Structure formats: C-alpha cells, structure tokens
C-alpha cells in the first residue's frame, strides 16, 4: 500500500514528503496556507490532482488559522491573500486553481450571507473533502474507461508519476495500468525516469513494485529505441492542463515521447479528469509553463552532476499538440483524435452546457 498522501486534522496538515521517496517515509507539517504553498512549490507534494487536493486543505488551514488566532477583522482580505499564496505556488496544473477558487467562492458567499467563521469552516471542510472524494472516484472511472482501449497483454510506456502519489485515488495513467494489469490487458510497463526530478524512477517504479506489476525502468532517451526494437502497444501519460483544442501540458519530455510514438505508429493516450480541461484557454501556446531553477538540472540531491556554474534551461512542462494524441481518457468517457470541435461537443454533453 502507498502511504496516505495527505492527513488533515484541525489546524494541521501532514503531507507525505515525496522528495524522500522511495527511501524514507517522512511527513511535512503544514499549519496554514503559506506552509501548504511552500510544500507545493518545493515538490513535497506534486502531481496535478494531488496538488489540487492539498491546496484545498491548505485553504481550509487558512481558515483554521483565523479561528486559532482569534482574528475577527479583515476576514475577506485574509481569505483572498491565502488564495493568492496558494495559487502562486505553481502555475501549470489547473486543478490547483480550480479547487482553491471553488472553496474561496463558497467562503466569500457564506461570509457575505452573514455566516460566522466557524460556520464557514464547517462548510469549507465539507467541500474540501468532497473535492478529494471526486478525485478518488474519477480515477476509478478513468481506469475503467482507459482499459477499454487496451488489447490483451499490452506492453506500455508511461511517463512521470501519475499514480496514487499524484492523486488521492489510484491515479490517472497509472490507474489505467493498475486496472489493466488486473484484467490481463497489461503484461509489462516501461516507466521513463523523467529527468530531472525522476518521478518515474523514484515514484512510478515504487508504485509498480508495490502492486506487483512487471516493469523495466528506462532512461527517457531510451524510449525511441525501445519502440523500434520491442512491440510497444501504447504510451499512456497524464496531464496538468488541457486546452480546449486538446493541446496538453504535461511533464517536460511528454512532447518528445508523443513524436516518437507517432513515428512508430503507437497510440499515445492522455488520461486526465475533466477538471484538467481549461475552458478559458483555446490552444496550448496560451498555457503558462512553469520554469524551475537550473540547479534542479545540474544537481541531483546535494551532488553536482555538472559544473556549478553551468547554464541550464528547466521548463517543468511541455505541450503535446492535439494532433499527436490518439485519445483523451476522462472519467466521463473517451475523446478519440481530440480537436476543438470534438472536445466542445463532448463537454457540452457531459456538463450539460449550451455554450462553451
């Protein structure tokens, strides 16, 4: 079993510190929104849906702090500030913005309707746990839907970490792999290391190992050669934000993998909850890509692997254009060969909207 990722009790949030995995189980203690934002920024916790869930609890911690400190004035301003602190932590994964804004709107409405801070806290706690439950349920549905695309005994490549360590549930792409293995649809998994943070090497292999799924770790630059020499049936990845036309932001290296998969006629699947669609963004170029410190490239933990003065470029995500994606798998169904028209029609139907 993967340890609990986030454990909340009034005024405290214990966050499984993924920086030490798989070697040490450590928890980072957050007592307010600021600590939670620090944990997100510094990669204590990562993975789009889990970032969203953690931030939701971080928003709740902000309210706990108001109560514990006995603050009686400027509540609205404090809540707004907490929202900003949380949303400033990382820019690309849209769940972070959606979960915190959902709670903030609710809190402000309650405040304006005259609710006292304890009543607001109670309602926000309920809503935060609803968000987490929605995440858990959607991972189960994504897995159920994704498995339908796989043929018996498939060998698949996956990228980054999209499992229990990236969600509150079983995961998105990795959830499909887990479920696929149970149903005889997956025979072998090739997780890519995922430089520079090595989410694939450290986290995905650990999850596969714990679930007793046969796997072989590969370096990111091995994927093309593997596709040429071994029968790979699919590439399955997750997503941090999807534009209305299907262009998908995911961990840096996803784009390269998609191009190589296309060259070898291998289906390239993106698995993500509906929440990952950003309806305000029409194309990938408009998605904000986080740029992280070059130190994360030239050092592994405390060891330099290049000269300390080395100049390095570190975008944390890239955009895979929709025409390289064979299907987007969501909890509400699959969008094959996604494009703007198909996505709009799908979302209109699912969300019961007249216009998007």
Residues that bind ligand MRU (CB under 6 A): 46-49, 93, 160, 162, 166-167, 172, 199, 238-240, 250-251, 316
Question: CB 286 → ligand MRU: shortest distance, Å?
Answer: 18
Q: Cα-Cα-Cα-Cα dihedral of 75, 81, 87, 88, to 10°?
A: -170
**In terms of CB distance, is 147 or 316 closer to ligand MRU?**
316
Sign of the alpha-carbon torsion through 203, 208, 212, 215: negative
Question: CB 48 → ligand MRU: shortest distance, Å?
Answer: 3
Return d(Cα 189, Cα 169) in angstroms, integer: 20
Name the closest residue to ligand MRU (Cβ). 238
**In terms of CB distance, is 57 or 316 closer to ligand MRU?**
316
**In terms of CB distance, is 63 or 338 closer to ligand MRU?**
338
135 included as an active-site residue: no
**In terms of CB distance, is 195 or 322 closer to ligand MRU?**
195
Return d(Cα 243, Cα 180) in angstroms, integer: 27
Question: CB 179 → ligand MRU: shortest distance, Å?
Answer: 15
User: How far lies 242's CA from each of 159, 215, 248, 255, in Å?
Assistant: 17, 28, 5, 13
Question: CB 139 → ligand MRU: shortest distance, Å?
Answer: 8
Return d(Cα 38, Cα 123) in angstroms, integer: 25
Could you tell me which residues are beta bridge partners of residue 192?
A: 218
- Which among 53, 220, 240, 247 is annotated as catalytic? 240
Of 343, 322, 318, 214, nearest to 268 (Cα)?
322
Return d(Cα 15, Cα 5) in angstroms, integer: 6
**In terms of CB distance, is 47 or 62 closer to ligand MRU?**
47
Sign of the alpha-carbon torsion through 276, 28, 191, 151: negative
Rg of the chain's alpha carbons, rounded to an integer?
20
Question: CB 261 → ligand MRU: shortest distance, Å?
Answer: 16
* Residues with catalytic function: 240
């Amino acid at each position: 079993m993967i340890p609990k990722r986030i454990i909340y009790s009034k005024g405290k949030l214990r966050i499984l510190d993924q920086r030490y995995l798989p070697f040490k189980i450590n928890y980072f203690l957050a007592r307010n929104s600021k600590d939670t934002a620090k944990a997100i920024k510094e990669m204590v916790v990562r993975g789009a849906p889990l970032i969203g869930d953690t931030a939701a609890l971080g928003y709740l911690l902000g309210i706990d702090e108001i109560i514990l400190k006995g603050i009686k004035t400027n509540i609205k301003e404090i809540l707004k500030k907490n929202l900003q602190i949380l949303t400033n932590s990382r820019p690309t994964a849209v769940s972070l913005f959606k979960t915190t804004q959902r709670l903030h709107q609710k809190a402000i409405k309650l405040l304006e309707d005259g609710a006292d801070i304890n009543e607001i806290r109670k309602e926000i706690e309920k809503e935060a746990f609803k968000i987490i439950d929605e995440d858990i349920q959607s991972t189960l549905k994504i897995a159920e839907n994704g498995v339908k695309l796989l043929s018996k005994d498939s060998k698949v490549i996956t990228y980054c970490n999209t499992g229990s360590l990236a969600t509150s549930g079983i995961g998105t792409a990795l959830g499909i792999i887990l479920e696929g293995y149970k149903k005889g649809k997956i025979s072998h998994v090739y997780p890519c290391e995922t430089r520079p943070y090595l989410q694939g090497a450290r986290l995905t292999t650990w999850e596969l190992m714990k679930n007793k799924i046969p796997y072989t770790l590969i370096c990111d630059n091995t994927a093309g050669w593997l596709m040429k020499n071994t029968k790979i049936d699919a590439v399955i990845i997750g997503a941090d934000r999807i534009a209305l036309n299907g262009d998908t932001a995911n961990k840096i290296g996803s784009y390269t993998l998609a191009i190589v998969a296309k060259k070898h006629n291998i289906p390239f699947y993106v698995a993500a909850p509906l929440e990952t669609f950003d309806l305000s963004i029409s194309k990938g170029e408009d998605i904000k890509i986080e740029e992280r410190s070059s130190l994360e490239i030239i050092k592994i933990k405390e060891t330099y692997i290049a000269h300390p003065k080395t100049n390095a470029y570190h975008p944390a995500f890239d955009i895979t254009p929709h025409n390289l994606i064979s299907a987007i798998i969501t909890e509400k169904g699959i969008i094959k060969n996604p494009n703007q028209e198909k996505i709009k029609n799908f979302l209109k139907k699912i969300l019961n909207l007249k216009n998007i």
